Amino acid sequence: MEELIRAYWFPLYAFVRRQGNSPQQAEDLTQGFFTHLLENKGLTTVDRSKGKFRSFLLAALKNFAADQRDKAHAAKRGGNRQVISLDAIEAEVHYAKELADTMTPERLFERSWAIAVLNQVVLRLEREYVERGKSAAFQALRHLLDGQADGQFHAEIAGQLGMTEGAVRVMAHRMRRRYRELLRDEIMQTVADAELVDDEIRYLLQCL
Amino acid sequence: MTEQEKCTKCGSPLPSSVRGGLCPACLFNRGLETNTVGYTDDAQAEAAKRWTPPTVEQLAPLFPELDILELIGRGGMGAVYKACEKQLDRLVALKILPPEIGREEAFAQRFAREAQAMAKLGHTNIVTIHSFGQRSAGELAAGGDLYFFIMEYVDGLSLRQLLDAGTVSPKEALAIVPRICDALQYAHDRGIVHRDIKPENILLNRQGQVKIADFGLAKLVGLSAAGAASPTAASAETGSPGAPGVTQAGENVMGTPQYMAPEQIERPRAVDHRADIYSLGVVFYQMLTGELPKGGSGKEFEPPSRKVLIDVRLDEVVLRALEREPARRYQQVSELRTQVETIVGTSPEGAAGDNPPRKGVADIDVDLQWNTWRKRWHKRIPIVGVRDGKRGIHWPGLLMWLIFAGIVLGVMGIAGANWQAVAVIGLALAGVLALGILRAWAMPIDQLTQLESSPIRDDASPRMSRLAVIGALWAQFAFIAFVLMFMGYTIAAGQYHQGPDFFQMLAVLLGGIGLTAPFGTTICGAVGIAQIRHSAGRIYGLGLALFDALLFPLLILDGLISAGCYLGLHEVFDYRGPIQTVGAGTMQAVRHLSDTWVALVVLAIVIPLNWFVIRRAWRAAKRPAGQTADQRMPPNTAPQSPTLSPADG
């Protein structure tokens, strides 16, 4: 569960930020939100058969943020009570880079969520390869994942890694396949059942 | 906005937040279940991607009846060669499909069926298929068969090439689109959906004819999920039961996502002919503006009329074609075509850019003693013209004619002609006008002058609000009329005239117009303000319209305040009581003094009041039309969120 939060906190940060909060406020709010979730065990009591985790999280965050404003007191500051280390500076840089000026907070959230999913999957893939001692191969092949660089680099990579071109091709293919499996698995964690995975993927596609 | 790189595969912008510069759209697509293909396993897919089309020499033995001349193109759906049919001595295009496609068992059957349907399409705007089949190709197809089509050769360019070179003007676009519609409607009527309409598939030959290629090829090559791959072979390879082999044959299957209708991506099984309409919409947009409608979740692109000089009615057409819900689009391509043709036909400038020369003119034939007048008026003034395809009165022209008549009569009156003469001349002029109108009305419609076709002008450049100007002029009229009335009264009172006094009549007339000014000007101003606010910048002149709308109300208000103050406060400032004993001269002075006090009070009230009203009105008018209350709230305030519920979709 914590893993999940770590992967998807940026969309929440972006949402809160887009609502008009300063970077500091946004960080506090996000931090506070997670604390709130974990403390109240909100996540474990979610009835997952009823919909998407993503929407649930957004609704919960909205409520939380509204509550915080109502109470008119700042969320718990970082420092001693930090539950998860959030790289706030990196977050702010990302936020600034997003061409997000015309988007509503909700849309920005969904878009960031979609990208966070992809990043998370690539991360998991990387971990698998590293565990098997094949991190060099992964680094060489990772930019082939989306299919933009078709086949042009196989020869180069073969040279780099000391393998034959054929072997490189097979490896790339397996990596892509595994990527797909992981993507579907990651989405599966956030939806109620397997049939909804495709719907969720298509929805996220639109959000980009 | 910073420049964004684009994905070399699907063209969507690359956000910087995805690590490694990967394309999120492509990555997501990879995860979808429904990317089905004609390939039964992934190794083959790899092979297909690497496929180099056979050389001319390699191909020649397979087609003894053709002289294969050169390779003219290759894409995901195969390779195309220019060839000459020896016996008929005619140029043809030979298209061969990638060999891997043929491996699949069911393909041969599908091929025969689909190719036959495709070949039955005979239309001037569709690339005709002359024949099709397969040849055993030995090594070229790894032991299998090579599937091919022999088609009409189009000597020209594809729309893609034209777009890249930047040489498609909106005018040309408007000529091309109806032809595409013809082709699509023809095919749809025969149950064939193209599924892959994009600029690469739209060809233009040297005669300017439009030809659409690859009808139904997308389906044949395996776009639809149903019956594409044999399940057993697939599952053996991928390990996931029942899932057809997902490959990276993106270019075969997906085509270019930018042109695909949303339902083609989301629910491929539910695709029908309306997907072609969407794709046409994208192509149309691109032809008009040179850019793709920005994708993502749709509703963020600018209407074409904002970017190019075209009739705004075309926006509607494009937008409707690009509706996400198929049910909201045009249901038939022919509807789209009719719309476009109507707009082009009824637009004075041909709906795009340059003005064609004005057509013939029907004017008043001033063929009486005033021939000299006619010669002086070199530019003819139309009274009757064509608007929106129907005959209409050209009001400015009519007005000018009436003014002319008025001047003539006035001059006569001044010169001292008696009223009978004036009446006769007046009747004569009226008669001429009536005759002229009748004659013009009877003329064939295409000889009439084209009038403006719509209140919203066709060009995109901003113009001054007409209503505001009319309102301001009307107000001027009021003052002129007031002055004239005054003059008229004094003149009439002091002089003796025979018969109807011309000046009196004039004075009454102008006075009448003047009296209507308070209403007219105010209304013009108010409507003008609304018009400007809703024109999204196309019409300007808010200041003038506001002036119109406020002038008379404020004047009346000020007048009432003055009167009220005078009546009410006069007593307060009346010093007559206590100083009655003083002489008459001082009385005058005192009255002036009290009047001055009253005047000061009035000013003190009126000036701030006017200022306040004007400021409020200006602010209210300046606020962008359609803004909701939410948007005016400070950003930190969030709208009430719904109660927490995981059921939120």
Residue-wise pLDDT for B175-190, tens only, equals: 899 999 999 999 888 8
Q: Between β-strands B384-387 and B449-450, what pairing exists: parallel, antiparallel or unpaired?
A: parallel
Please indicate whether residue B196 is annotated as part of the active site.
Answer: yes
Q: Say yes or no: B280 and B402 in one domain.
A: no
Q: What is the pLDDT of residues A69-118, one digit of tens each?
A: 776 554 444 444 444 455 666 777 777 766 556 677 888 888 888 888 88
Residue B68 host element (H or E): strand B66-75
- Is this model's pTM higher than 0.95 or not? no
Give the nearest chain A residue to B12 (CA atoms): A208
Percent share of chain B, pLDDT over 90:
13
Higher pLDDT, B209 or B355: B209
- The reply to whether residue B636 touches residue A19, judged by beta carbons under 8 angstroms, is yes
Residue from the list A56, A107, A184 with its beta carbon closest to the beta carbon of B31: A184
Asked whether the predicted pLDDT for residue B397 surpasses 80, the reply is no
Angle at B262 between CA B191 and CA B339, to 5 degrees: 65
Residue B140 belongs to a domain: yes
pLDDT at A67: 79
Q: What is the pLDDT of residues B273-304, one digit of tens each?
A: 889 999 999 999 988 888 888 654 545 677 88
pLDDT at B132: 93
Most confident of A180-194, B165-179, B253-267, B546-560: B546-560
Picking from B22, B33, B50, B636 by the largest number of A CB atoms within 10 A of its own CB, the best residue to mutate is B22
What residues of chain A lie within 8 A of the CB of B646, using their CB? 46-48, 50-51, 55-56
Tell how far CA A116 is from the center of its chain: 2
Tell how far CA B560 is from the center of its chain: 48
Q: Per-residue confidence at B362, pLDDT binned at 50, 70, 90?
A: very low
Give the nearest chain A residue to B266 (CA atoms): A202
As a whole number of angstroms, the distance between CA B64 and CA B62 comes to 6
Size of interface A-B (CB pairs under 8 A): 157
Residue B33 belongs to a domain: no
pLDDT at B129: 93
Residue B181 near residue B97 (C-beta atoms within 8 A): no
Q: Per-residue confidence at B603, pLDDT binned at 50, 70, 90?
A: confident
**Residue reference for tokens 């699509």:** B184
Q: Say yes or no: B194 and B64 in one domain.
A: yes
pLDDT at A31: 81
Give the nearest chain A residue to B42 (CA atoms): A173
Alpha helices in B190-273 (DSSP H): 217-221, 231-238, 250-254, 262-266
Tell how far CA B273 is from the center of its chain: 24
Residue B25 belongs to a domain: no
Terminal-residue alpha carbon distance, chain A: 25
Range of the domain at B390: 371-450
Most confident of A140-154, B275-289, B409-423: B275-289
Q: Between β-strands B384-387 and B210-212, what pairing exists: parallel, antiparallel or unpaired?
A: unpaired
Higher pLDDT, B270 or B244: B270
List the beta bridge partners of residue B82.
B70, B93
Residue B633 belongs to a domain: no
Provide the sign of the torsion angle of the four alpha carbons B572, B573, B576, B579, taken in this order.
positive
Residue B268 is classified by DSSP as: G
Least confident of A170-179, B233-242, B532-541, B589-598: B233-242
AA letter at B362: A
As a whole number of angstroms, the distance between CA B560 and CA B565 comes to 8
How many other CB atoms are found less than 10 A from the CB of residue A156? 12
Alpha helices in B248-332 (DSSP H): 250-254, 262-266, 274-289, 304-307, 313-321
Beta strands in chain A (DSSP E): none
Residue B35 belongs to a domain: no
Asked whether the predicted pLDDT for residue B600 surpasses 50, the reply is yes
Residue B358 near residue B450 (C-beta atoms within 8 A): yes
What residues of chain A lie within 8 A of the CB of B27, using their CB? 118, 145-146, 179, 183
Asked whether the predicted pLDDT for residue B583 surpasses 90, the reply is no
Least confident of A128-137, B119-128, B287-296, B365-374: B365-374
As a whole number of angstroms, the distance between CA B56 and CA B76 comes to 19
Range of the domain at A194: 2-207
Of B419, B450, B481, the last residue of a domain is B450
Residue from the list A21, A118, A177 with its beta carbon closest to the beta carbon of B18: A118
Residues 94-153 of A with CB under 8 A from B: 94, 97-99, 102, 107, 112, 114-115, 118-119, 122, 142-143, 145-151
Give the nearest chain A residue to B243 (CA atoms): A181
Domain count, chain A: 1
Rounded mean pLDDT, B117-140: 88
Q: What is the pLDDT of residues B489-527, one digit of tens each?
A: 666 555 555 445 666 677 667 767 777 888 888 998 888
Q: Say yes or no: B120 and B263 in one domain.
A: yes
Least confident of B192-196, B267-271, B278-282, B607-611: B267-271
Residue A184 C-alpha, separation from nearest chain B C-alpha, in angstroms: 6
pLDDT at B353: 56
Residue B270 belongs to a domain: yes
Asked whether the predicted pLDDT for residue B466 surpasses 60, the reply is yes
Residue B230 C-alpha, separation from nearest chain A C-alpha, in angstroms: 19
Q: Per-residue confidence at A140, pLDDT binned at 50, 70, 90?
A: confident
A105-131 vs A53-71: helix crossing angle, rounded to 10: 120
Q: Per-residue confidence at B89, pLDDT binned at 50, 70, 90?
A: very high
- The reply to whether residue A62 touches residue B645, judged by beta carbons under 8 angstroms, is no
Rounded mean pLDDT, A36-55: 62
Residue A12 near residue A125 (C-beta atoms within 8 A): no
Higher pLDDT, A167 or B548: B548
Q: Say yes or no: B445 and B468 in one domain.
A: no
- The reply to whether residue A201 touches residue B17, judged by beta carbons under 8 angstroms, is no
Residue B111 near residue B147 (C-beta atoms within 8 A): yes
Asked whether the predicted pLDDT for residue B43 surpasses 50, the reply is no
Structure token digits, residue B335: 């509807």
Terminal-residue alpha carbon distance, chain B: 32
Give the nearest chain A residue to B634 (CA atoms): A20
- The reply to whether residue B33 touches residue A198, judged by beta carbons under 8 angstroms, is yes
Asked whether the predicted pLDDT for residue B471 surpasses 60, the reply is yes
Residue B247 C-alpha, separation from nearest chain A C-alpha, in angstroms: 8
Beta strands in B323-383 (DSSP E): none
Assembly ipTM? 0.78
Asked whether the predicted pLDDT for residue B635 surpasses 50, the reply is no
Rounded mean pLDDT, B591-618: 83
Picking from B17, B269, B301, B628 by the largest number of A CB atoms within 10 A of its own CB, the best residue to mutate is B17
Residue from the list A50, A143, A181 with its beta carbon closest to the beta carbon of B20: A143
Residue A122 C-alpha, separation from nearest chain B C-alpha, in angstroms: 9
Q: Say yes or no: B93 and B222 in one domain.
A: yes
Domain count, chain B: 3
Rounded mean pLDDT, B28-40: 51
Q: Say yes or no: B321 and B415 in one domain.
A: no
**Residue reference for tokens 């009041």:** B609
Residue A152 C-alpha, separation from nearest chain B C-alpha, in angstroms: 10
- The reply to whether residue B9 touches residue A148, judged by beta carbons under 8 angstroms, is yes
Q: Say yes or no: B545 and B435 in one domain.
A: no
Percent share of chain B, pLDDT over 70:
65
Higher pLDDT, B238 or B412: B412
Q: Say yes or no: B332 and B385 in one domain.
A: no
Q: What is the pLDDT of residues B319-350, one digit of tens each?
A: 999 998 888 999 899 999 999 998 888 877 66
Per-chain mean pLDDT for chain B: 72
Q: What is the pLDDT of residues B189-243, one digit of tens each?
A: 888 888 889 888 899 988 889 999 988 787 777 543 222 333 333 333 333 332 2
Q: Per-residue confidence at B36, pLDDT binned at 50, 70, 90?
A: very low
Residue B334 host element (H or E): helix B333-346
Asked whether the predicted pLDDT for residue B169 surpasses 60, the reply is yes
Residue from the list A97, A176, A204 with its beta carbon closest to the beta carbon of B28: A204
Residue A2 burial (C-beta neighbours within 10 Å; 0-12, 13-18, 19+): exposed
Query: Any residues with CB less than 8 A from the CB of B341 and at least 6 apart, and which?
Result: B178
Residue B22 belongs to a domain: no
Provide the sign of the torsion angle of the four alpha carbons A9, A10, A11, A12, taken in this order.
positive
pLDDT at B632: 43
Residue B634 is classified by DSSP as: -
* Selected catalytic residue, list B145, B182, B196, B458: B196
Residue A114 near residue B28 (C-beta atoms within 8 A): yes
Residue of B165, B196, B304 lying closest to B258 (CA atoms): B196
Q: Per-residue confidence at B125, pLDDT binned at 50, 70, 90?
A: very high
pLDDT at B68: 93
Residue B419 near residue B499 (C-beta atoms within 8 A): yes
- The reply to whether residue A98 touches residue B8, judged by beta carbons under 8 angstroms, is no
Residue B250 near residue B48 (C-beta atoms within 8 A): no
Q: Per-residue confidence at B422, pLDDT binned at 50, 70, 90?
A: confident
Residue from the list B30, B298, B646 with its beta carbon closest to the beta carbon of A46: B646
Cα atoms in the Cβ-side hemisphere of radius 13 Å centred on A119: 20
Most confident of A40-44, A189-193, B102-106, B112-116: B112-116
As a whole number of angstroms, the distance between CA A146 and CA B246 comes to 13
Q: Per-residue confidence at B28, pLDDT binned at 50, 70, 90?
A: confident
